[in-house]
Amino acid sequence: ALLLAIESSCDETAVAIIRGHTGEAAEVVASEISSQIPLHREHGGVVPELASRNHSLHLRGLVEKALSDARVTMEDIDAFAATTGPGLASSLLIGSTAAKGMACAMKRPFLGINHLEGHLLSPFLDRTTVPPHIALIVSGGHTLLLDVTGPGSYRKLGSTRDDAAGEAYDKVGKMLGLPYPGGPEIEKAALGGNPKAYDFPRSMLHEPHLDFSFSGLKTAVLYTLQKETGELPVADLAASFQQAVIEILVKKTLRAARQAGRKQIALSGGVSLNKALRNAFFAAGQSAGVEISVAPPVFCTDNAAMIAFAALLRHLAGESSALDGDIHPNLPLV
Ligand code: ATP
Ligand code: FE
Ligand code: MG
């Protein structure tokens, strides 16, 4: 089957086409992204009205580019998909309405996809099977630990009680005077810093549950930098902050794998792009005998290939969504 998917939940407009059949590897044959990061940077974060207007502006061009990259036409597409939540309401509406319109015009099924399921499945998007594993979604809005037994079978083990990991990166980046988004900037700054320079708190690390908390860490960084009198030691602060985040994520996720008896961990979401985080997981996985899977870097942050893949698995399983289905800004995964 050949599927076209649109992702427009936040500030990236993306269109992808995927080809896949039951029992065979799936192949992403086109993946287009128009990032609005430079546009929102001057405001220090995402401005919803700007985001939705830009989705409208770029969608048509991205669809045409995806079709031509994949060397297919609209008639060749077997189903159309779009993210229907969670995300910004006005942004979700643009992408889902466009995909529904194409589905109507071409008399093909429509599939509404949960953005988080897209992230979750992204480490497996070159196969059509999803092995039992522990999934850690670390994105701008979510920090979610799940036990996955297969596509659609998700059990929540823990989540953040306050800030998401990516949100903490972005807020601390802002405090340190770094451009938006803070995640990649902190990773860069941390390369020249000492991760042991500051002993920031590892909140909830030793509590028995698998939930996370990052707001105490963020506040600890704020208090520390308020006490600094001279030039801000940005590299040391970034490296020490990042070290705390990594230690919390690695230890809790490996504990989850041990408790559930899983031998595989899959990382997804924008924060899983972080090389220090990936390396810490690879090292910890190796000593615990747990395989670590991550998506290729281009599919870690928001993209439509992951939405197309989630849609493909559902389409191959015979599912579709109603055309009168709504968007859901706060849609949970489980
Ligand atoms: P959600 O998926 O929860 O709705 P989102 O779509 O905004 O949120 P993503 O696009 O998956 O999230 O990821 C964006 C987040 O990833 C931002 O918070 C960004 O700072 C963070 N991020 C991106 N690159 C890195 C990096 N190299 N290191 C750490 N964090 C990073
Ligand atoms: Fe996302
Ligand atoms: Mg984003």
Q: Name the one residue in this structure whose structure tokens are 């909140």.
A: 203
Q: Would you say the CB of residue 173 lies under 6 angstroms from ligand 1?
A: no
Ligand 2 center from residue 331 Cα (angstroms)? 13
Ligand 3 center from residue 321 Cα (angstroms)? 25
**Element counts in the chain: helices (H) and strands (E):** 10, 10
pLDDT computed for residue 40 by the predictor = 83
ipTM exceeding 0.95, yes/no:
yes
pLDDT computed for residue 23 by the predictor = 83
Query: pLDDT per residue over 97-153, tens digit each?
Result: 999 999 999 999 999 999 999 999 999 998 878 999 999 999 999 999 999 999 999
Q: Would you say the CB of residue 159 lies under 6 angstroms from ligand 1?
A: no
Rounded CA separation 218/167 (Å): 10
Q: Would you say the CB of residue 169 lies under 6 angstroms from ligand 1?
A: yes
CA-derived radius of gyration, the chain? 20
- pTM of the entire predicted model: 0.97
Q: Would you say the CB of residue 249 lies under 6 angstroms from ligand 1?
A: no
Q: Would you say the CB of residue 187 lies under 6 angstroms from ligand 1?
A: yes
Taking ligand 3, which is a single-atom ion, which protein residues have CB atoms under 5 Å away? 10, 302
Pocket test for ligand 1, best of 271, 273, 300 (most atoms within 8 A of CB): 271
* Residue stretches of the chain with pLDDT short of 50: none
Q: Name the one residue in this structure whose structure tokens are 């802002």.
A: 174
Query: For the chain, first and last CA: distance in Å?
Result: 27
How many Cβ atoms sit within 10 Å of the Cβ of residue 51? 23
Going by CA atoms, what residue is nearest to atom 15 of ligand 1?
Answer: 140
pLDDT computed for residue 44 by the predictor = 83
pLDDT computed for residue 25 by the predictor = 85
Q: Give burial (CB, 10 Å; 0-12/13-18/19+) of 1.
A: middle
Q: Would you say the CB of residue 184 lies under 6 angstroms from ligand 1?
A: yes
Rounded CA separation 242/301 (Å): 18
Ligand 3 center from residue 51 Cα (angstroms)? 11
pLDDT computed for residue 190 by the predictor = 98
